[in-house]
Structure 1
């Protein structure tokens, strides 16, 4: 674990708002020189504070108007069952996230679809046929008001 000071945390918040901001612009906002700001970013990147730089795509703008969270309980649990399920589910393009859980469900999936009938097709033809799938519970996303910010 890396030790972070208040300036590092401010830098993380600024990058969370705009990951394309230059080290010079970030430095000016935080009272740092461009080289000092770049060194801090590089140090945090090398320490694994930043996992990846990703493009935040608006699914609705691409024609995916429905988001559904699925709770999946596997019929059988074992190391091979988990690996088989994870390998198969990550190959489905409509499945955006796969979270392995402890609790009522074994996995939570975030699935996007063009509409409800498209989601039904994905559910019946792709998800329900995955190895080990037992019970599935669906929750349709109505709105997303808040996105989590950085921890720093």
Structure 2
């Protein structure tokens, strides 16, 4: 675990809000030179505190109006390789996230679809035909808010 001071925390919060900010702009904001800011960012990357930069797409603007969290219980544990299931489900374009979880279900998926009938098509023709797919529970997202990360 890396030791973070207040400036590190401020940098992380600022980058979480907008990763495209330059080291120069961040430095001016937090009273650092551009090279000092860049060294801090590089240290955070090297330590693993920053593990990449991601592009967030607006699902609605791209025509995907429905997000569903789907719990899946494998039908026959031991008869299906978890790796085979994960590889197959990860190949479905509408599946944004695959999480192997403890609890009532074995996997939790985040799926986007154009509308509910599109989700039904994905569920029937892609998810339920996967090797080992058994019981499912769908939770349709009604609204979503972006919450601050672990640094608040």
Query: TM-score, normalization: structure 2?
Result: 0.95
Task: Work out whether residues 80 and 132 of structure 2, in 8 Å CA contact, stay in contact via their aligned partners in 1.
Answer: no
Unaligned residue ranges in structure 1 (runs of 5+): none
Q: Who is 1:148 aligned against?
A: 147
1:78 deviates by 3.6
Task: Work out whether residues 101 and 108 of structure 1, in 8 Å CA contact, stay in contact via their aligned partners in 2.
Answer: yes
Following superposition of structure 1 onto structure 2, how do residues 134-145 of structure 1 map, counting pairs within 5 Å?
134-144=134-144
Measure the CA separation in 1 of the matches of 2:28 and 2:79.
51
Unaligned residue ranges in structure 2 (runs of 5+): none
2:41 aligned with 1:41, yes or no?
yes
Give the ranges of 4+ consecutive aligned residues of structure 1 lying more than 6 Å apart after TM superposition. none
Deviations 1:13-50 (A, max 9, x none): 00011100010110111111111100000011111111
SS at match of 2:120: helix
Deviations 1:50-82 (A, max 9, x none): 122111101110011111110000112249521
Task: Work out whether residues 80 and 131 of structure 2, in 8 Å CA contact, stay in contact via their aligned partners in 1.
Answer: no
2:17 aligned with 1:22, yes or no?
no
SS at match of 1:134: strand
Measure the CA separation in 2 of the matches of 1:5 and 1:121.
49
